């Protein structure tokens, strides 16, 4: 059975997630020519004929939304229309906090299964445990609901109660729990200390990512004396992207100077450059760092990996990244939702576009699939998406690679290799990188 995992923020952005830049409502558009208006008249005629003659009465709103999305889908896979509800979900995802219970869930056997309760949240305090099955929500059977429907029912205003009926292994009868919703803050950065190495995993780029990263660095420094700390691993695998400004801030944390990324729009003069703030020392004191990427590393995570790689601040280990090098602008449409439109491509400091190409690791380390996944195609890449924008450096090889990370670090060959490099147990010409050999756009 295929399992889908969601946080109560709703589905976090998928592998084709986009970097986000918020635009202003009512952006100016060029006036269309007379031929264009003739085509629009054809659309109006067809719309009316469908409304009048289709075998069952169609929903007008649905017809219009699907027509709009059809137009946008013909442009590229990342441009789309979001109705008011979808636009609100997107804002919740990028904000990184929401009113809910605080559990990560999946759908299994037609029931909502709790993967894990988040520490110090209403669900954890009420006694919800990993492995619990939620059978009813406020007395309504979960069977027959989609995972999104169930998540939507469990989200809600802060300080409002919700009753969960839980099936738990070992319990002889269903357990009734009342949970009071609260503000849930999703950690965008998970971290731990591996003896003498600081490990940081960025799961997505929300409004809280940079703050979470700084907190992780501070806590790692407290746990390991500076003279004992060999370096850091920054794990960007399975990171689908998110906010462009957060990618810039994260990159800046590890740089003393230099260009991070530039974006270029339709007009050749429409170029925006983002640079690191000049400083004497970066936020990790110049310690060595390895960045991990795979086919699940997309968009904002590729901005970070590309900047740090081009400026020779880090060594990138893993497999080819997803290759999403486009920027989407979110244009609010008031009560009608928002338009997500591809408005630019981004370029690494060397001036290269990773659109349809991806970030090529300095050291390729493949991660074998477990027996239960062998034979499945887990490769993810922008170049495989129908209608994707052809990248300037895209080749027949394309972009992407397997998007798989073992749940147990003991089986994680890419992470093990990175730690061995940092400890000097393995050597490679690309580690440590030489900043004097930074590859810059001339």
Q: What is the model's pLDDT at position 32?
A: 65
Q: What is the model's pLDDT at position 23?
A: 42
Residue numbers in the chain where pLDDT is lower than 70: 1-32, 442
Kindly state the tokens that stand for 255: 């740089």
Q: What is the model's pLDDT at position 29?
A: 54
Contact present, 378 and 402 (Cβ < 8 Å): yes
Q: What is the model's pLDDT at position 36?
A: 85
Q: What are phi and psi of 320, to 5 degrees?
A: -55, 135
Q: What is the model's pLDDT at position 255?
A: 97
Of 383, 387, 409, 415, nearest in space to 15 by CA: 383
Q: What is the model's pLDDT at position 375?
A: 81
Contact present, 367 and 294 (Cβ < 8 Å): yes
The CA-based diameter of the chain, rounded to the nearest angstrom, is 77
Q: What is the model's pLDDT at position 27?
A: 46
Task: Tell me how far apart the alpha carbons of residues 147 and 216 are, in angstroms, rounded to a whole number.
Answer: 32
- The domains located in the chain, with CATH, are 100-183 (2.30.42.10), 189-437 (3.90.226.10)
Q: What is the model's pLDDT at position 148?
A: 79
Q: What is the model's pLDDT at position 187?
A: 84
Q: What is the model's pLDDT at position 13?
A: 35
Q: What is the model's pLDDT at position 143?
A: 92
**Catalytic residue list:** 299, 310, 324
């Amino acid at each position: 059975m295929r399992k889908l995992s969601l946080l109560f923020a709703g589905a976090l952005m998928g592998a084709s997630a986009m970097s986000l830049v918020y635009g202003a409502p009512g952006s100016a558009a060029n006036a269309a020519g007379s031929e264009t208006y003739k085509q629009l008249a054809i659309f109006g005629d067809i719309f009316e004929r469908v409304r009048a003659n289709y075998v069952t009465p169609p929903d007008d709103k649905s017809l219009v939304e699907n027509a709009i999305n059809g137009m946008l889908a013909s442009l590229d896979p990342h441009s789309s229309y979001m109705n008011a509800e979808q636009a609100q979900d997107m804002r919740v995802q990028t904000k990184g906090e929401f009113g809910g219970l605080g559990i990560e869930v999946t759908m299994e056997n037609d029931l909502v299964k709790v993967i894990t309760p988040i520490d110090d949240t209403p669900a954890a305090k009420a006694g919800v445990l990993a492995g619990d099955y939620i059978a009813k929500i406020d007395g309504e059977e979960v069977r027959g609901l989609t995972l999104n429907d169930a998540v939507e029912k469990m989200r809600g205003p802060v300080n409002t109660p919700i009753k969960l009926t839980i099936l738990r292994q070992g319990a002889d009868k269903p357990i009734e729990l009342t949970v009071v919703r609260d503000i849930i803050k999703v950690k965008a950065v998970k971290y731990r200390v591996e003896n003498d190495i600081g490990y940081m995993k960025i799961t997505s780029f929300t409004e809280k990512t940079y703050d979470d990263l700084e907190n992780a660095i501070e806590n790692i420094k407290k746990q390991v004396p500076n003279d004992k700390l060999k370096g850091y691993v920054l794990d960007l695998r399975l990171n689908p992207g998110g906010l462009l400004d957060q990618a810039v801030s994260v990159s800046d944390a590890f740089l003393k100077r230099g260009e991070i990324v530039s974006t270029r729009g339709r007009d050749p003069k429409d170029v925006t450059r983002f640079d690191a703030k000049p400083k004497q020392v970066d936020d990790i004191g110049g310690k060595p760092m390895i960045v991990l990427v795979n086919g699940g590393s997309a968009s904002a995570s590729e901005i970070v990996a590309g900047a740090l790689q081009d400026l020779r601040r880090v060594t990138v280990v893993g497999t080819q990244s997803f290759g999403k090098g486009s920027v989407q602008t979110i244009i609010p449409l008031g009560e009608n939702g928002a338009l997500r439109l591809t408005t630019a491509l981004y370029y690494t400091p060397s001036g290269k576009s990773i659109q349809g190409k991806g970030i090529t690791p300095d050291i390729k380390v493949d991660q074998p699939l477990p027996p239960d996944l062998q034979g499945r195609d887990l490769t993810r890449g922008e170049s495989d998406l129908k209608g994707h924008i052809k990248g300037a450096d895209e080749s027949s090889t394309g972009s992407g690679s397997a998007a798989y990370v073992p749940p147990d670090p003991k089986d994680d060959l890419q992470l093990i290799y990175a730690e061995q490099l940092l400890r000097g147990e393995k050597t490679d010409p690309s580690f440590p990188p030489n900043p004097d050999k930074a590859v810059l756009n001339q």
